[in-house]
Amino acid sequence: MSWGVGIGAAGAAAAAAGAAAASGSLSRTPPEAAGAASGRAARLEAIADGLRDRFPGVQEVTAQQLRAELEAGTAVVVDVRSAEEVAVSTFAAAPVVTAAEYERDPARWAGRRVVCACTVGFRSGQKAQALGRAGVEAANLRGGILAWTHEGMPLTDPATGADTKRVHVYAPRWALQGEGYTPVAFEQPLIKMVLLGLRDMFKRAS
């Protein structure tokens, strides 16, 4: 299987530019063997259990709970994934903002619970923990966007606004998507992780 790379930036216009610049190829997953999706769900749950223990004191929200809170207008999703990941797809729900967008105007979301989200819950757990220390009511989406797919919930292509079944899983080892979704991953995830870490470090220093 070949793993494609989605490249873009936050926001529809930037995501469109990123899609045009994308390199690599995507291959759809072959028909799944019986139980494959449930096996992935079990692995994702085990990862989520470990992350819950890693971030004690950080509230967790399930995908179903998040959807209910969004529909009730009591939550906002802060998607902490990189622009390249968001360019592949994001939550087909509102409101969803990037971490940078939230930090530019946190007062706008006063009165809503901040639910941080990433691929499986590690980066979002870090963000929720940091926000909690700053006095913000923040929670972590258990299982991340992959848990959202296991509930069969919709994703959207930010470049077009259309529904999509493509989801960025960061690395092939985390291809734990729900049944019927197509995984996309960085071709060199470890290098990408280092580069993103350096970029964040320089942003904080500037």
pLDDT (tens digit per residue) in 40-50: 999 999 999 99
**pLDDT grade for 138, boundaries at 50, 70 and 90:** very high
Which pLDDT tens digit goes with each residue over 45-76? 999 999 999 999 999 999 999 999 999 999 99
CB proximity list for 4: less than 8 A, separation 6 or greater: 22, 24, 25, 26, 27, 184, 185
Amino acid identity at 164: T
Class of domain 12-27+41-205: alpha beta
% residues pLDDT > 70 (the chain): 74
What ranges do the domains of the chain cover?
A: 12-27+41-205
Mean pLDDT of 3-13: 32
Q: What is the pLDDT of residue 42?
A: 96
What is the predicted pLDDT for the residue at 34?
Answer: 53
Tens-digit pLDDT profile for residues 10-33: 333 333 333 333 333 333 444 565
The pTM score is: 0.77
Quick one: pLDDT band at residue 190, thresholds 50, 70, 90?
Answer: low
